Structure 1
C-alpha cells in the first residue's frame, strides 16, 4: 500500500505491493490496453479506452475517467516530446491508467496537486481535472521521462482505502 508524506507518494518495496497495485495481474482483469501513441492518436486512443470498459463498469464516472485520461495523454503530446505509452489495467477493486513519456520531466512546481485554475487562465486544467475526477493520481518524473497513474475505484467494490477509512466497517 502506498503512503503519502506531504505531497509525495511513497511506494512499497518490490514484492511488497498491495494486491490492488496497477502492476499486479488481478484475477478479475489484468491489462486491458497497452499501446504507444502520438499526436495523431489522441482521439483514436480515447475511443479505444472507452471500448475496453464494459458498459456499467464505472457507472456515471466513466466520462470523467476518460476525460482525465485524455488530459494526461494530451499533456504528453504537447509538453513531453509528442509520444508516449498508455497502459490500462483492471484490478479486483480499481481501474488504473498509466501514461508514460520520455520527455524532460515535470518541473518541481507542477508536481503537487494543483490549485483550481483561474477562470480565464490559459491552460493548466489537465492535471487539476485528473485530481478532481480520479480517486488517486500518482506521478513519477525525472529527466528521462514521466509516468502519471490514474486510479478510479470500481462502484460497489470495497477498496483498501475504504477499509482504512472505516467505510466497510459501517463507519
Structure 2
C-alpha cells in the first residue's frame, strides 16, 4: 500500500483489507481536518462504498483520497458490471427485511455523491466540505 504524491491515500483493496481501509480513511480524514460527527459520517459513507465494491464489484478495486480547495474527496472504483438504474434512482432505503439496499442511500445523505457506472465498472466519488 503506497500513497501517491499529493494524495492522502491511494491503494487497491479486497475483502480482507476492508477494516484496514476504513482505519486509513479515518486517519486520512482526520489529518485533512474532519472531526466529530462530520468525520464519523464521512468515514461511514466511504465504508459503504468500499463494502459495495467488494460485495458487487470485481477486481481491481481501488480507493484514493485527496484535498481540493475546501473539500475532501474520496474516489472508490471497481471493474464490476455496474449499478442497475433502478438501484441508483431509489429515493428511499430498502425495507428492513431486504438484504442490503441502504449503502447508496446512506452515501447520498452523508456526503456529496457522484456515480459513474456502466458495464466496465463503477466509480463513486464522495466529497465533504472541510472546516
Q: Is TM more than 0.5 here? A: yes
Q: Residues of 1 paired with 2:71 and 2:90: CA distance?
A: 21
Q: What is the root-mean-square deviation of aligned Cα atoms in Å?
A: 1.9
2:127 equivalent among 148, 151, 156: 151
Q: Residues of 2 paired with 1:97 and 1:55: CA distance?
A: 14
Corresponding residue number in structure 1 for 2:8? 32
- Consecutive unaligned residues of structure 2, counting only runs of 5 or more, are none
Q: Is the 8 A contact 2:30 2:39 kept in 1?
A: no
Look up the SS of the partner of 1:86 in the other structure.
strand
- Consecutive unaligned residues of structure 1, counting only runs of 5 or more, are 1-28, 156-171
Residues paired across the two proteins, number? 126
Shift >6 Å, 4+ stretches: none
TM-score (normalised: structure 1): 0.68
Give CA-to-partner distance per residue, 1:8-55, whole Å, 9 cap, x none: xxxxxxxxxxxxxxxxxxxxx941101000010100011111121336
Q: Is the 8 A contact 1:58 1:154 kept in 2?
A: yes
TM-score (normalised: structure 2): 0.87
Look up the SS of the partner of 2:69 in the other structure.
coil
Q: Whose RCO is larger (CA < 8 A, sep 6+)?
A: 2
Task: Kindly indicate which of the two structures has a greater share of residues assigned to helix.
Answer: 2
* Larger-gyration structure (1/2): 1
